Structure 1
Amino acid sequence: MTKPWSATNFARQVIDYYHAFGRKHLPWQNTQDPYRIWLSEIMLQQTQVTTVIPYFERFVESFPTVLDLAHATDDQVMQHWSGLGYYSRARNLHKAAKIIETEFGGDFPQDPEVIETLPGIGRSTAGAIASFAFDQPTAILDGNVKRVLARCYAIEGWPGNGKVLKALWERAEANTPTQETAAYNQAMMDLGAVVCTRTKPNCPDCPLSKHCLAYHNNSIEQYPGKKPKKARPSKAVYWLISINETSDQTQVLLHKRPPSGIWGGLWALPEVEQQDISPDKISQLDPFVHKFSHYDLQVQPLLLSSKADKALVEKKSHPSIMEPAQADWFSQNQLSEIGLPTPVSKLLSKLLGDS
């Protein structure tokens, strides 16, 4: 029966793979700047590398240092994150930058336990920053690494389960070398991203396949275990579109969503109850579904007619409007300067035309 490598030999094979085949030319690599490393780690959470690259490059061009980010406005940060999804990441990034300025004098902390106390940073992200920026022998356990370890050691169960996660962390800690840790951690992420993929893994090219238990037991598809299925929920909402035509511009009314929750801090169309507005004052546009990771949002856009009293949608106290933190009119040109949820941006672009 195939037995796993010792931790030392495991790490050696992974590091050798990095030197031969590892990714070394991504825009956040070849630097020990903790700010850029941190930013990339946050952006890469649940997001593909190819999607992240243009966002990362635009973000660091506008906010080249952690202090630049700390001094940015909420709208500026959210506008640069718009379309990348999981917006709490951006809010936490901004909060953490301000903490780094006020509590650490603008210097990124080096202790992984201290790094982990910053908003939006968990154990694995703290380990990645500590190893890549500060050459510390800290383990990581992102989704790619979980998959590699679960298969190599046939660790059964869904990684979201506490006992399974504990077993994976124990293995991750045991295998992480004290030397060349950054190369090892990068290679583990690379292996999960391009070799030990979710479907159709390229096992013959994997440096760990010789002693991978799942590979030799022909049970790759069983690892890691899948999350127990639940019925996928859905939520139906009405979005009210109020357009103001003037002699020189077209404006649309937007509400800024509360800082927490879905699309927190972004500008969006107000959500209404359809029965609160007279049918002769609205027209229904084509409905659509926006899929989140955990539920479906069924959207029915309602276009407010020109004869309707637009003052009603500006009143925070009106019962049909979900209480906004802020409301304002924006011209087409201004829409590109604020943070908008992707479905709102697409809907307005289709309705108003690209600015």
Structure 2
Amino acid sequence: MQNFTYTGLPARVLFGTGTTSLLPAEVERLACRKALVLTTEAQAALGRYLCDLLGPISAGLFPGAAMHTPVEVTDAAVIQYRDSGADCVVSIGGGSTIGLGKAIALRTDAPQIVLPTSYAGSEMTPIIGQTDGGKKTTQTTLKVLPETVIYDVTHTLTLPPLMTVTSGMNALAHAVEALYAEEANPVLSLMAEDGIAKLTEALERVRDTPQDTGARSDALYGAWLCAVCLGSGGVALHHKLCHVLGGSFDLPHAETHTVMLPHALAYNAPAVPDVMEALRRATGSQTPAAAFFDISSAAGAPTALRDLGMPEDGIERAVEIALDKPYYNPRDVDAEGLRSVFRAAWQGARPDA
């Protein structure tokens, strides 16, 4: 066996059904006095429920989280955080809300408790992405790693089937890239393969029976494993391209991952034969990239960048931005290769890998 490094990140995880009721005790466990609850506008009612649950230790609600964590939204949230006397944040929602909590923590060192309502996985990572002036940048720092994550299957039962698939594909991308990222190691590979297997199988069950608690529990568990892979491992071509598309063309996060995963994997497939074998085991398909495409297609999820509003003449700009800063990938990346990936994704062509 080759030498490797595995980094286990510190986080307290509570997993189950009805675990939201433990929130007040978790705030107190962090020795915090007042918690500011964060949500998107669409999930404000859920935020108000948490404020009621917290009672006297609630510092109010900020319902303005937005996709790609714009810095101007963070500015407003930090002002409310300080004015309210809060000394921690509670983020309930998907990647947008979790990203806002991280941005506040980056500026204020606020402890974070996260209650995910999707499978995005940001809650298990020390990674933060922020958008300023139409350009998205990311950084990795333990300052933004949440202290506590409460996984409550109940919050995923009402996640619409279509959103379930796009969020699930976002999660799958974390584990797929962990298998061939620069920091890949045997420990993460075990988590990645199991997470992919659990989540892909559960997504098909959830599509047919969205209220199946067992299927939802398996999906959330698989997504958690995928998130651990992202937090403790690394990324490559897929995530780089998604950040370019999201930050520069304002494309929706989960849907962009859904479209790009099959094509980024197909591009890298010739360079990672062992990974492709693991993916064949996990997906039960001889063509894993096509299997991911088929899961999305069968659910009615987007499979083409043009369906997300990406202009065809934006492909060259995307190639230029992606090549601006070098990054690790198991297969060499050049303009011609990127052009082929973006074009296939723009057209929505089914890969054969």
User: Normalization by structure 1: what TM-score?
Assistant: 0.23
Larger Rg: 1
User: Normalization by structure 2: what TM-score?
Assistant: 0.23
